[in-house]
Amino acid sequence: MSHELTLRVYYEDTDLAGIVYYANYLKFIERARSEWVRALGIDQQAMHRDSGHVFAVRRVEADYLRPARFDDVLRVVTDLAQASPARLIVDQQVRRDDQLLFAARVTIACVDRQGRPVRLPSILRTAIDG
């Protein structure tokens, strides 16, 4: 189950040399994960309002391989690597054409209003299992 988000690098994403500032890759992959969850049919605002559950990044392992530059068109690819009752692990790549620029493995936990781990919503389990 793969999801792709296309985005353009804006001037605000870059440093003085016109290269994407390293922390902005985390923003790019966050946007892509949000769109992936939306594509699975999950309304995160409703989930938070109704049950108090939210997704929280627990761990990120990242490799910066090549620079992205101002005005590049990038594809952020998100793939589910592993799912447990309360956690998802996703692999994400930022690509320019066929070049891999950035790769990350992100562990996401589902937590309640007090920040305690809880089971993933059944609608999400159904979406990723089916």
- The full length of the chain comes to 130
Question: How is 104-121 classified by DSSP, letter by letter?
Answer: EEEEEEEE-TTS-B-PPP
Of 15, 63, 71, 79, the active-site residue reads 15
**CA 77 to CA 93: how far, in whole Å?**
5
Model confidence band, residue 1 (pLDDT cutoffs 50, 70, 90): confident
Antiparallel, parallel or unpaired: β 99-111 and 87-96? antiparallel
Which of the four CATH numbers 3.10.129.10, 3.90.25.10, 3.30.70.260, 3.30.830.10 does domain 2-129 have?
A: 3.10.129.10
CA 1 vs. chain centroid, Å, equals 14
**CA 58 to CA 68: how far, in whole Å?**
26
Say which DSSP state 66 is in. Answer: S
32 class by beta-carbon count within 10 Å (0-12 exposed, 13-18 middle, 19+ buried): buried
Whether the pLDDT of residue 72 is over 80: the answer is yes
Q: What is the pLDDT averaged over residues 21-31?
A: 98
Catalytic residue status for 15 = yes
Q: Which residue has the tokens 């969850």?
A: 37
Segments making up each domain of the chain, as ranges: 2-129
Model confidence band, residue 67 (pLDDT cutoffs 50, 70, 90): very high
CA 65 vs. chain centroid, Å, equals 18
pLDDT tens digits along 74-119: 999 999 999 999 999 999 999 999 999 999 999 999 999 999 999 9
